[in-house]
Amino acid sequence: MTSPIDDLYTVRDYLRYISSQFSASSLYFGHGTDNVWDEAVQLVMRSLHLPLENNTLFLNARLTRDERELIISRMHRRIEERVPLAYLLGEAWFMGLPFHVDERVLVPRSPIGELLERGLQPWLGDQSVHRILDLCTGSGCIGIGAATVFEEAEVDLSDISADALEVAASNIELHEVGDRVRTVRSDVFASIEGRYDVILSNPPYVDAEDLAAMPDEYHHEPELGLAAGGDGLEVAHRIIAGAVDHLNPGGLLIVEVGNSWVALEQAYPDLPLTWLEFENGGDGVFLISADDLQQWQERS
């Protein structure tokens, strides 16, 4: 039986062949790219350790046999096992930055990245930021992204999963921010000490019904990173209950709850949440100030 690698030689050949194969399958996109072409470009170029931008220079370059075999085997795993591409490559991009990822952590995709790129404006105003907590950090993408925006801030990356924190630690090393970013193992706030100016969190928030209906790609991600009880709010309830004790006056709490925003609104009809809007897609992210949260708690 002939293998495609006997007929395909150049970068251009592989981009074309993989685009055709991806188009003929029913892949789910949503772990970094949202279309066949971008997924094929990322698979080919990053398997060759070449940049994603300005890559036309190499279109006619011929690949070695090892490179061809690697790309075709990754393509098969993507199509047949539905492994998200980020896990096959061992890397994902968030806020334009590379992060190590594997099946111990979710593939980074939170719209909170867009807020950070805007320096949390206009919400932050002229409030200074000295300490940031990324609660439920996974790969550490949100907290490390925050550290690149708030260059003087100290950032704690916290997760209940020791496995996830190993990945986060490797990303601290990758971004050379170990002098002010550290990992803390904690069940929500249980082992968190002190107060922060900003608490950012993308906790697990998938409800039981959505979890059962998720495309195969999601089943390669750690269930601990997705599932959050019947209403999807198991962790979010605990964040709302505990955040006041860990925020400085004037601080901000920003939490992603995705589709579970409807259940959250029903559970907290009097909580003055601001639901944020995003240019690059995504929803179900709320923001509340420490002061509003405290006043609400005193009223309740």
Ligand X SMILES: C[S@@+](CC[C@H](N)C(=O)[O-])C[C@H]1O[C@@H](n2cnc3c(N)ncnc32)[C@H](O)[C@@H]1O
**In the complex, which residues of this chain contact ligand X (CB under 6 A)?**
105-106, 108, 110, 136-139, 141-142, 159-161, 164, 187-188, 202-204, 224-225, 235
The DSSP symbol for 258 reads: G
230 C-beta neighbours (distance < 10 Å), count: 10
Four-residue CA torsion sign, 162, 164, 168, 169: positive
What's at 1, amino acid-wise? Answer: M
- Whole-number minimum distance, CB 107 to ligand X, in Å? 7
What tokens does 267 get?
């559970």
| Lookup result for tokens 């601990």 | 224
Nearest-approach distance from CB 16 to ligand X, in angstroms: 32
CA distances for 41 relative to 51, 148, 154, angstroms: 10, 27, 36
Nearer to ligand X, 108 or 232 (CB): 108
Residue 64 dihedral angles phi and psi, to the nearest 5°:
-75, 165
- Looking at the Cβ atoms of 27 and 235, the one nearer to ligand X is 235
Are residues 133 and 199 in contact, defined by beta-carbon separation less than 8 angstroms? yes
Q: How far is the CB of 238 from ligand X (least distance, A)?
A: 7
Q: Smallest gap, in angstroms, from Cβ of residue 86 to ligand X?
A: 11
Q: In this complex, which beta carbon is closest to ligand X, that of residue 79 or of residue 169?
A: 169
Alpha carbon dihedral 203, 104, 193, 243, in 10-degree steps, equals 0
Structure tokens at 98: 């590379």
SS3 content of the chain, % helix, strand, coil (to 5): 40, 15, 40
Shortest spacing between CB 56 and ligand X, in angstroms:
32
Choose between 72 and 228: whose C-beta lies nearer to ligand X: 228
Distance from C-alpha of 76 to C-alpha of 33, rounded to nearest angstrom = 18
CB nearer to ligand X: pick between 44 and 144:
144
Closer Cβ to ligand X, 44 or 276, answer by number: 276
Nearer to ligand X (CB atom), residue 48 or residue 106: 106
d(CA 247, CA 291): 9
Q: Is the Cβ of residue 69 or residue 173 nearer to ligand X in the bound state?
A: 173
Q: How far is the CB of 225 from ligand X (least distance, A)?
A: 4
Give the chain's count of helices (H) and strands (E).
Answer: 11, 9
Q: How far is the CB of 214 from ligand X (least distance, A)?
A: 13
**Closest CB 267 distance from ligand X, rounded Å:** 18
Measured at the CA of 275, the angle between CA 271 and CA 276, to 5 degrees, comes to 150
- Across-strand partners of 196? 247
Name the residue among 112, 92, 79, 109 with its Cα closest to residue 276.
112
